[in-house]
Structure 1
Amino acid sequence: MASQAVSASEITPQLSNTTIGSGEPTAGSSSAPVSTRDTPSTHVVSAENGETGGVEGSIGGDAPVEKKRVKLEDFTKCSESLLWKLMMSFYDRKGVDSWSQGIVPHFITCNAFIGKVYARVLKGWLEDVQSSSNSGLHNTMKLDPTKPLYIIELGTGAGKFSFFMLKALWEMADVLPFPVEKIVYVMTDFTESNFNFWKTHPVLHEWVEKGALEFAIFDAVNDDSIKLHNSGKVLGGDNPTDNPICVVANYLFDTLCHDIFQVEKGVLKEGLISVGSSREKEDDILDPDIIKNFSNLYQYNEIDRGYYAEGKDAVDAEHLGRILEWYRDFFDKNDPDDTGASILFPIGAMRALRRLSNMGGGRMVVISGDKGNNNVQQFRGLLDPHIAVHGSFSLMVNYHAIGAYFTSRGGFALHNPQEEASLKVSCFVLPGEKQKDDKGIEVKEGDLMGEGMERIDRERERDFPNLKHAFKDWAENFGPNDFFIMQKSMKEDAVNPSLKSVVALLKLCDWDPDVFYKFRDVILNQVCQANAKLRNDLCRGIPRVWDNYYQLDKEKDVSFEIGRFFYGIRDFGKALRYYTISSETIGEHHVTFHNMGLCFYSLNMTSDAVEHFQKSIKMNAKYVKAQNWLEKVQKEIEAKNAMTMEMAEGATAPVVA
């Protein structure tokens, strides 16, 4: 879409909650007159400042308050709207800075704990499909250990999660039921800036050299194949992979295109959106700053289940129509108060998963973490979509619909039932065969209605007991969201956490560098008074912090803080090692040189101490600490030299008669 200037020529008044009108039926709709409900968006929320966008309402019964609004497009199908072009524009223009500068929150899905969780869940699946005793009806996913097993991460971003999961898998090599050297992790994203960042990242280089890591530019919604950068191999097209495809997707599905539906008194309706801005003028309709100034309108029209019968989704029309009918049927039969239901439909995620399943010959396992819902009771009420703004924007992922898509295609879903969670993790399996029940009888559509879908899921998961238990242990009982809440609460709610509790947290998260950095002051303030056993535990674990370090944010100098730790326990040699690493990786700094000078001084290497104090002053002539120490050490050297000369003169003086 070409960029163009748009002015605030449209004055939009507060619209009534329900407007009756007429119009032409849309594609896939019934021929009945169209009933519309045009409502201004009151659900655009900024995660940064809590401001709401949209049209202001009337006050105290007065006339509606008019507010200028730049209309950027007419009412259109949500998945085809300007929203998603703005999304791609944001990530394309910001690149890795979206993560390194903290514009997009990422710690919850980019830490050592979640990397290990996903690796453990995948291990459970590997144990099931490689089990010689498992000849279950739905288990048709046997792996060929002589062929590659591709793990494709969608929307990789900066690559931090990739590093943690790949590292966790290789550290489990001795217990994996599949040769780890045949596992190829594929980092993908649609932006070239992220792709170029991976290619030059020093930590990823060793995995590329092993043949364990590949990079690819891949548009998850639109591309049918993936060309691997290093080997040149193409996944997809007419050549499905020998083994099933493994897919990882974190905080991606909430940013892929969605459609909007409502069920009102048993009637299924589509939601159309008119994207607008609250600013006076927009010179570039792909300017990402529009996101924080959204002023969107919505309109709802009656349709039927054939909504996806034509166009790019026609190949999945049977499954998509079945899911829409499930929602219409469920809320028609289970809505005694006529509250209706509002349903976000993750069509972008389903398109991506369809293409990826084709690459694996219809066989696929997916692990995904995102903000979302899998409980349909959360969909009750006739509301416009909630759009969360955090630099870019995101919507709640309807994991129930994605699970229903897999079930309709012959697979099943595992969901974490926890509802109070910033990150919901789900797992989906597609064995690659026709829908059948546990008796081998082909499943009919009626069998999937109501509670039938969940019943069939439970039947199919029986053939994957190791996956089921790994998911329950690692993603449900205490999962990534629980870990995130625990470390956040310790940091924000505990006035003075004990060193023992911090060590326990670090052990839980496999000595994650970000967690170490958050609690560095607690460690440094208490380690000198700690008993020998606790100090030894820290000394054994701290090197693991550096092993897990993935350089992204230069404001977090982890190696410098490790150097401070070792200086605090008077291990000056190790402190020097990490200060040197800090200078080489993050860059030279006057404080680092000053601290190195202190280490050399403590090791009685005074000439080296002088050199580093001088380097510190050269970088910052006003740094008083380095000036004072330089003066002190130089005086000590002068005094020592004078004493040495006196002793030498005394030794050579003639004997007095």
Structure 2
Amino acid sequence: MPGLTPPTGDRCRLEEFTRCSDSLLWKLMMSFYDRNGVESWSQGIVPHFITCNAFIGRAYAKVLLGFLHDCTCANSKIPLNKTEPLYIIELGAGSGKFSFFILQAIKELPEVFEFPAEKVVYVMTDFTWNNLKFWNDHESFRPYLDCGQLDIAIFDAVHDETIRLHHSNVVIGRSTLKNPICVIANYLFDTLCHDIFQIEAGQLKEGLISVGSRNLFETDALDPEIIKRFDNHFTYRVINENYYAESEPEDSCHLRRILRWYRDFFGDASDEASILLPIGALRALRRLTSFSCGRALVLSGDKGNNNHEQFRGLNDPHVAVHGSFSVMVNYHAIGLYCTSRSGFVLHDPQEEASLKVSVLVFTNQEDAVLATFQPSTMGHQSSPFYDLGRVQIHNWVGSDVERLSAARSLAFPNLCRAFSDSITSFGPNDFFVVQKSMKDDTERPTLKAIVALLKLSNWDPDVFYKFRDPILQQVSACTIKLRNDLCRNLPQLWRQHFMLDKNKDVAFEVGRLYYGLRMYQKAIRFYQTSIECSGEHHVTFHNMGLCYYSLSQYQLAFHHFGKALLLKNDYTKARAWQDKLHREKPYQFEDLK
């Protein structure tokens, strides 16, 4: 069995050389998330802020809205049926924090969108029941679950043929949806199985992997700790473009076309390239689009590349370890797949980015817009073969494919505009860079700059928490106008709060801010919320005592200082305040001496 293989050299070989998508890598990935559950995010084991904030929730909601506007226009390529549900399926929802932010943003849809709000159903999915139980019990999701706008489901995007919704008991399967399916996949495609290819001297090669550990012996081949000890080896062998003919019969034509594109583009004797093909993501897309008769929007953000020039050179794939592990997603290949299936893709062209966002649209209209397509003259040898529909594509090489995709996108102007405004012009990666730079590179950011950042973030609670100290240091001396700008939006900031890490006590920090603003009743309410969400703490009771003292409610002040001392009997600040009350109001506390 795996894990009992005798050591070879200075490593434990967990498996022989095998196709990457069939290797132990992906079983270890699933084992990691299954065993760690939501703690993968709540304990910071897996980085997640870049895709779990109010900014990206609003940005994605605007892109979805642009697509739906195009679907409701006259002569739409993908018309909507307003009597049927419109499902937005999030794959690998994980902690659920992103889901919460986009649900908050979708609340605004009824005001601007000509589609019944009650027909929009957001579905959070993952492959482990631990995560579903967390979502089901989370108070932030309760209003959405109760009204039917949210449902949850166990779903393995690579293997499962149907999605059974936990609350409504609806089963989504092949051709069951009357409206296009909308899919969201953030930091998911990099965790699904990939295959490895190289082009060298005009030949297409398959990469095989032997997963191993730096330990000489492993007792459990599915122990996620092995990820930290990876010692993987690779070897390559020549194949032909019919590589997927048997394993992926439904998509073999599209996959052959993709492999041929890379072979042709990098086929010169002097060219060489290393390519990861996200076969797990493509399987998931095939299955999900089958639910809605081939009509879909897919919005995905991940660490990856959409520029094929990045693939030049012969290199083994880089496996990045960060608690779990990930690889670079080949969004260029995903775009080729979508275009081959009569769709189009919009990529964010920014190359220096931790998060690359792309949107795919599958129309199920194989002759859509192809009449406008005129193949260009390419320096590479062309590879003519037929589309699955009625139209021949003469040159499936180079920029011809990009031109075809761009031509099809013209039928969706609102989507293109929303993607440009919310992703390309200034998107989630840009926001992440700005807030990180202000935090790490600015010694003392001004309150005015912090308020501007909070406004840009859509009043994200994590951004507030990161800058809580400079806010508190400056708020008492700032202008009335700036103070009003901050206070006016604190209720919205709190509405955006999603409890995940109890050690990140946002309610306590909002209470401190209100205390600094001398808004003592509001401060008390947030200190009470802090106790409810994060548990009792002596400093919280002490601060409540200060609020009551400032409100001249001395008995309550004394009582809360006493509660602080019960939790920490040597807490000198609370003891000093009790002594102060005894001196100032002895007649009120004679029975407490």
Q: State TM-score, norm by structure 2.
A: 0.95
Cα displacement (A) at 1:510: 1.0
Percent sequence identity over aligned pairs = 57
Report the Cα offset of residue 165 of structure 1: 0.7
Q: How much has 1:448 moved relative to structure 2?
A: 2.4
One-letter identity of the residue aligned with 1:405: Y
Q: Specify every segment of 5 or more residues in structure 1 that has no aligned partner in the other structure, as ranges.
A: 12-67, 643-657
Give the superposition deviation at 1:10. 0.5
Of the three residues 63, 74, 79, the one matched with 1:142 is: 79
Distance 2:5 2:540 in 1: 51
Match in the other structure for 2:8: 10
Pick the aligned partner of 2:123 from 170, 173, 186.
Answer: 186
Given the alignment, which residue of 427, 432, 452 partners 1:484? Answer: 432
Question: Do residues 530 (structure 1) and 467 (structure 2) align?
Answer: no
User: 2: distance between equivalents of 1:568 and 1:172?
Assistant: 37
Contact 2:11-2:212 within 8 A present in 1 as well: yes
Counterpart contact for 2:158–2:284, Cα < 8 Å: yes
Kindly report which structure 2 residues correspond to 1:103-114, keeping only aligned pairs within 5 A, or say none.
103-114=45-56
Whether 1:634 and 2:582 are equivalent positions in the alignment is yes
Q: Could you say which structure has the larger radius of gyration? A: 1
- Select 1:588's aligned residue among 536, 552, 576: 536
Q: Which amino acid aligns with 2:45?
A: I
SS in 2 for 1:308: coil
Query: One-letter code of the match for 1:234?
Result: V
Q: Does 1:543 align with 2:491?
A: yes
2:40 matched to 1:98? yes
Aligned pairs for 1:209-248 (under 5 A) are 209-237=146-174, 239-248=175-184
- Distance between the aligned counterparts of 1:194 and 1:202, measured in 2? 14
CA contact (8 A) 2:20 2:196 kept: yes
Amino acid in structure 1 at the alignment position of 2:256: G
The separation in 2 between residues aligned to 1:609 and 1:340, in whole angstroms, is 74
Give the Cα–Cα distance (whole angstroms) in 2 for the partners of residues 265 and 437 of structure 1: 36
User: For residues 298 and 253 of structure 1, what CA distance do their matches in structure 2 show?
Assistant: 22
2:304/2:331 contact within 8 Å kept: yes
The answer to whether the 8 Å contact 1:408/1:435 transfers is: no
Alpha-carbon displacement from aligned partner over 1:49-94 (angstroms, at most 9, x marks no partner): xxxxxxxxxxxxxxxxxxx010000000000000000000000000
Question: In the alignment, what sits opposite 1:655?
Answer: none
SS of the equivalent of 1:219 reads coil
Match of 1:259 in 2: 195
- Is 1:285 aligned to residue 285 of structure 2? no
Measure how far apart 1:144 and its partner are: 0.9
Counterpart CA distance in 1 for 2:334 and 2:213 is 31
Give the letter for the 1:268 counterpart.
Answer: L
CA distance, structure 2, for counterparts of residue 479 and residue 307 of structure 1: 37
> 1:599 is matched with which residue?
547
Name the amino acid aligned to 1:306: N
CA contact (8 A) 1:409 1:435 kept: no
Q: CA deviation at 1:167?
A: 1.0
Deviations 1:603-642 (A, max 9, x none): 0111111111111111111211111111211332215679
Q: Which residue of structure 2 aligns with residue 411 of structure 1?
A: 343
Query: Which residue of 560, 563, 566 maps to 1:618?
Result: 566
1:75 to 14, 17, 27: 17
What's the TM-score once normalised by structure 1's chain length?
0.86
Give the match for residue 38 of structure 1: none
Equivalent pair of 1:411/1:431 in contact (CA under 8 Å)? yes
CA distance in 1, matches of 2:4, 2:324: 21
The 1:159–1:297 alpha-carbon spacing in structure 2 relative to 1, beyond 3 Å, is same
Deviations 1:519-564 (A, max 9, x none): 0001100000001000011110111111000000111000000000
Q: 1:432 deviation in Å? A: 1.2
Matched residue type, 1:550: F
The partner residue of 1:360 within 292, 303, 308 is 292
Aligned to 2:410: 462
Q: Which residue of 2 aligns with 1:131?
A: 73
1:321 equivalent among 232, 250, 256: 256
Using the TM superposition, give the Cα deviation of residue 439 of structure 1 relative to its aligned residue in structure 2, in angstroms.
Answer: 2.2
Which residue is 1:421 aligned to?
Answer: 353
8 Å Cα contact 1:340-1:381 kept in structure 2: yes
**3-state SS in 2 of match to 1:427:** strand
CA distance in 2, matches of 1:437, 1:547: 44
Is 1:78–1:257's contact at 8 Å kept on the other side of the alignment?
Answer: yes
Pick from 108, 112, 123 the counterpart of residue 175 of structure 1: 112
One-letter identity of the residue aligned with 1:174: E
Deviations 1:576-617 (A, max 9, x none): 000001111111111100100110111011111111111111
Determine the structure 2 residue equivalent to 1:154: 91
Where do 1:501-512 residues align within 5 Å?
A: 501-512=449-460
Letter in 2 for 1:315: E
8 Å CA contact 1:98–1:104 kept in 2: the answer is yes
Counterpart position of 1:514? 462
Q: CA deviation at 1:444?
A: 2.3
Compute the displacement of 1:445 (Å): 4.2
| Contact 1:322 1:445 (C-alpha < 8 Å) held by counterparts | no
Provide the C-alpha distance between the structure 2 equivalents of 1:284 and 1:513, rounded to a whole number of angstroms: 40
Amino acid at match of 2:292: G
Which sits farther off after the overlay, 164-173 or 207-216? 164-173
In the alignment, the residues of structure 2 paired with residue 73 and residue 241 of structure 1 have an alpha-carbon distance, to the nearest angstrom, of 41
Instruction: Give the Cα separation in 2 of the matches to 1:265 and 1:382.
Output: 11
Choose from 441, 446, 457 the match for 1:498.
446
Q: Is the 8 A contact 1:84 1:257 kept in 2?
A: yes
How far the C-alpha of 1:140 sits from its partner, in A, is 2.9
Alignment CA distance shift 1:86-1:569 (3 Å): same
Deviation at 1:436, TM superposition (A): 4.4
Q: Which amino acid aligns with 2:441?
A: D
User: Between Structure 1 and Structure 2, how many residues are aligned?
Assistant: 574
Q: Distance in 1 between matches of 2:414 and 2:283?
A: 29
CA deviation vs aligned residue, 1:268-294 (integer Å, no higher than 9, x gap)? 000000000001221100000100111
Letter in 2 for 1:123: L
Separation of aligned partners in 2, 1:495 and 1:4? 50
Of residues 508, 511, 514, the one that matches 1:566 is: 514
- 1:3 is displaced (CA, Å) by 6.4
How much is the aligned-residue C-alpha RMSD, in angstroms? 1.4
